[in-house]
């Protein structure tokens, strides 16, 4: 598992010039793992369950310039293989099984993207897996990253976010080291 800063460096390497190196992610209340509020509507509403991942919307480079994700390219947080895809409310979710040795049966979920890969395709850490899906209505374009632990073969046959929340074999965990 990588840190938030390492993921930011992968992200900026794909989407910025060298003079715009990553400094830090900017987070609003509601974007973090286990947060109970939504971050995009105003006034802020409560989520029906704790947030199962981290939402990335904007980062600051070392010159202090802000970079919104918009439709940016999305890097793989680890090397691995695409084992599932499903629709979500902004785009699609890509399920990435880390390469061996498996990280305690972990599975990354990169959500709200337009995937550039299909089932069975492999990537190395930092390779492009897709691009951030466009905003829809009041929901801004952003990247959601979750991590599931458990046997990935226990994914529901009719894969969807409601199905993920309804099963017990896979558990959401913090997706990045602090």
Percent of the chain scored above 90 by pLDDT?
68
- Other CB atoms within 10 A of residue 176 CB: 20
What's the CA angle centered on 31, arms 27 and 35, to 5 degrees?
125
Q: What is the pLDDT of residue 173?
A: 95
Q: How far apart are CA 41 and CA 19, in angstroms?
A: 34
Report whether pLDDT(104) > 80: no
The band of 44, judged by pLDDT with boundaries at 50, 70 and 90, is confident
Q: What is the pLDDT of residue 144?
A: 98
Q: How far apart are CA 133 and CA 112, in angstroms?
A: 5
Are the beta carbons of 97 and 107 closer than 8 angstroms?
A: yes
**Whether this model's pTM surpasses 0.85:** yes
Q: What is the pLDDT of residue 1?
A: 86
Mean pLDDT of the chain: 91
Select the more confidently predicted residue: 102 or 143.
143
> 60-102 pLDDT, tens per residue?
988 898 989 988 999 999 999 999 999 999 999 999 999 866 5
Domains of the chain, residue spans = 4-68, 73-150+157-173
DSSP structure class, residue 139: B
Among 89, 124, 101, 118, which Cα is nearest to 13's? 124
Q: What is the pLDDT of residue 101?
A: 62
Report whether pLDDT(103) > 60: no
Question: Domain 73-150+157-173 belongs to what topology?
Answer: Glucose Permease (Domain IIA) (2.70.70)
């Amino acid at each position: 598992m990588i840190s938030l800063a390492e993921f930011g460096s992968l992200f900026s390497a794909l989407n910025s010039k060298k003079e715009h190196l990553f400094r830090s992610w900017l987070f609003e209340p509601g974007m973090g793992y286990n947060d109970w509020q939504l971050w995009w509507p105003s006034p802020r509403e409560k989520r029906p369950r704790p947030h199962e991942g981290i939402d990335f919307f904007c980062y600051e480079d070392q010159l202090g310039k802000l970079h919104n994700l918009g439709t940016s390219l999305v890097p793989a947080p680890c090397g691995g293989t695409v084992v599932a895809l499903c629709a979500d409310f902004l785009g699609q979710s890509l399920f990435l099984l880390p390469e061996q040795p498996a990280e305690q049966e972990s599975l990354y979920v990169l959500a709200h993207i337009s995937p550039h890969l299909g089932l069975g395709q492999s990537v190395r850490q930092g390779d492009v897996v897709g691009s951030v899906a466009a905003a829809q209505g009041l929901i801004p374009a952003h990247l959601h990253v979750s991590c599931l632990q458990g046997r990935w073969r226990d994914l529901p046959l009719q894969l969807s976010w409601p199905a993920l929340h309804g099963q017990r074999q896979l558990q959401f965990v913090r997706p990045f080291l602090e």
